[in-house]
Amino acid sequence: MEHRKSTYRLLLPALGLSLVSLALTEALAKEVPEGIPAGPWILAPFFSSSYEADTNVFRKTEASGADDDRIATFTGELFGTLPFRNSELTLGYRTSKESFDNATFPRELTQYAEFDLELNFKSGDTLSLRDFFREDFARSEDIDAGGELVFEGEPYTINRWEVEFSRDDPGRQGYFARVRRQDFNYDGQKDVGFFDYRGFDNVFEYRQPLPGYRRWVLRYNARRFNHYDPNCKLGFECEGEVGVPFRKEVSDSVELGLMGNLGERQPYVVRLGYSSFRYEGTESSDFNGIVGHAAWRLALGSRTDLELRLTRRALPSNFETYYINNSVRAKLDREWLRFESGIELEYYLNDYADPIELGVNQFCRRRDSTYELDVDWAWRVHERFKFEISAFHTNRRSTCDTSDYQATGLGTGIALGW
């Protein structure tokens, strides 16, 4: 099973532009959402529907034959925020119904639930407790952040718990600490080519103020995950036993960088460091080398933003190795009167450490080069209602012919709410 970074991101077009702009960097402050006052709560209901045509739903090679399809999506959600004493509690639920004209899957209804408690203290410190639960089918970045996999429709559940403690005042010494526990499991009855995982992804960061609203940043990231073969519990041929990990992922990285703001709506962060990545319990190669991350949002006008991001990191692979993910992303957003438009281009290069086994005594030294182009246009008919059109094209070229693909899609939809 393989999949593009976010195979059907365009199926929820009303969320795209707003979520991308909020997620650029951890330095951006969280705002209380707009909505309908209901006693002490602020309710934010939302509904969207969309229809998309995709020329290659399963991201197959030209030789194996592409499967085109049309997908209708209906999404409803309700988020409620309770502000209190400069703090807030957020509860949310989202569900989507996706109907394919040709393909059929064991799950069509997806669900997402969220709990987020943010406590802001007079000292400037913030304590956040978060939990989310998702039932979906396999196309999410929560599964494979580097784009190795493509969509096949396997249902899964994921639970994520986070405890976050931070102080983000540019004029004072600050810090950011996050302990995150993740539990991912496949739910279907089909033989799958990826793994279940369970473990921790923790971040600790120290921030030293500098003149001009800048800060030095020293960051440590530790990942500890057990990888399980889901085919064992499904009764298929597997690498181990039910509940016994077939390998353990151990990753540590230390980065030094700079973060700050060049002006209003112009935050940036640059980090460069050293990382080690290895599997315990296997003979796979280890990684020891340079990693880094940079993100910058430029305000090109009162209603035009350009976002830039560069990343280099080691990620676990579906195969008995890891891969280095190098990515470059640029996104331009423009608002004019009642119209919104956006264009996003992302290129990433995945380089695998060890040869990939394709069959009996058949191996390939895999290296993937992928680009994705997304274009969005929206007409805000009313403050709470808009009509959207979106299109994408993605293309991957690999040294392993079985991993090549290209796909194009065109979608339209409406969104109502907050």
> Average pLDDT over the chain, rounded to whole?
88
Query: Which ranges of 109-242 does DSSP label H, i.e. alpha helix?
Result: 230-234
Q: How many CB atoms lie within 10 A of CB 104?
A: 8
- Indicate the pLDDT class of residue 372, thresholds 50, 70 and 90: very high
Which residues make Cβ contacts (< 8 Å) with residue 203, sequence separation at least 6? Answer: 176, 177, 178, 180, 219, 220, 221
pLDDT one-digit tens code per residue, 100-159: 999 888 888 999 999 999 999 999 999 999 999 999 986 666 678 888 888 888 899 999
pLDDT one-digit tens code per residue, 157-182: 999 999 999 998 878 899 999 999 99
pLDDT one-digit tens code per residue, 274-315: 999 999 978 889 999 999 999 999 999 889 999 999 999 999
pLDDT score for 141:
66
Question: Is the model's pLDDT at 13 over the cut of 50?
Answer: no
Q: Do 4 and 403 contact (CB within 8 A), yes or no?
A: no
Q: Do 411 and 390 contact (CB within 8 A), yes or no?
A: yes
3-state SS of 100-149? ECCCCCCCCEEEEEEEEEEEECCCCEEEEEEEEEEEEECCCCCCCCCCCC
pLDDT score for 31:
58
Question: Is the model's pLDDT at 63 over the cut of 90?
Answer: no
Give the mean pLDDT of 247-266: 93
Residue that wins the pLDDT comparison between 370 and 357: 370
Q: How many CB atoms lie within 10 A of CB 90?
A: 21
Burial zone of 55 (CB within 10 Å; 0-12 exposed, 13-18 middle, 19+ buried): middle
| Strand blocks (E) in 262-364 | 267-280, 287-301, 304-316, 322-336, 339-352, 356-359, 362-364
Instruction: Report all structural domains of the chain as residue ranges with CATH numbers, in order of start.
Output: 9-417 (2.40.160)
pLDDT score for 111:
95
Give the mean pLDDT of 401-408: 92
Written as six digits, the tokens of 203 are 């971040």
